Amino acid sequence: IDEYYDLLVQHIISQAVESLSENPSRRFIIVEMAYFTIWWQKTATALQQEKCRKVVASGQLEFIIGGWTMEDEACTTFSANIDQMTEGHQFLLNTFGVRPRFGWQIDPFGASSVVHEHFALMGFDATVISRIDYRFKRAMADNQTLEFVWRPSKNSDIEIFTHCLDFPSYGTAIRGVEWDDGDDLVNSTNIKMLSDRLVDNIKSRSAYFATNAILFPWGMDFEHFGALLDFENMDQLVSYINQRSDDYGVVVRYATLGEFFDALHSINRTWPTHGNTDWFPYADEPAGYW
Q: Which residues are catalytic?
A: 107
Total residue length of the chain? 290
127 CB-near residues (< 8 Å, 6+ apart)? 102, 103, 104, 105, 116, 119, 150, 160, 161, 162, 163
Report yes or no: 257 and 62 within 8 Å, Cβ to Cβ. yes
Among candidates 109, 72, 88, 93, which has minimal Cα distance to 36? 88
186 in helix, strand or coil?
Answer: coil
Q: How many CB atoms lie within 10 A of CB 50?
A: 11
Is residue 73 within 8 Å of residue 40, measured between CB atoms? no
Q: Output phi, psi for 102, to 5 deg.
A: -140, 145
Nearest-5° angle of CA 85, CA 169, CA 255? 70
The strand ranges marked E within 131-238 are 147-150, 160-164
CA 270 to chain centroid, in Å, comes to: 24
Neighbouring-strand partners of residue 283 = 289
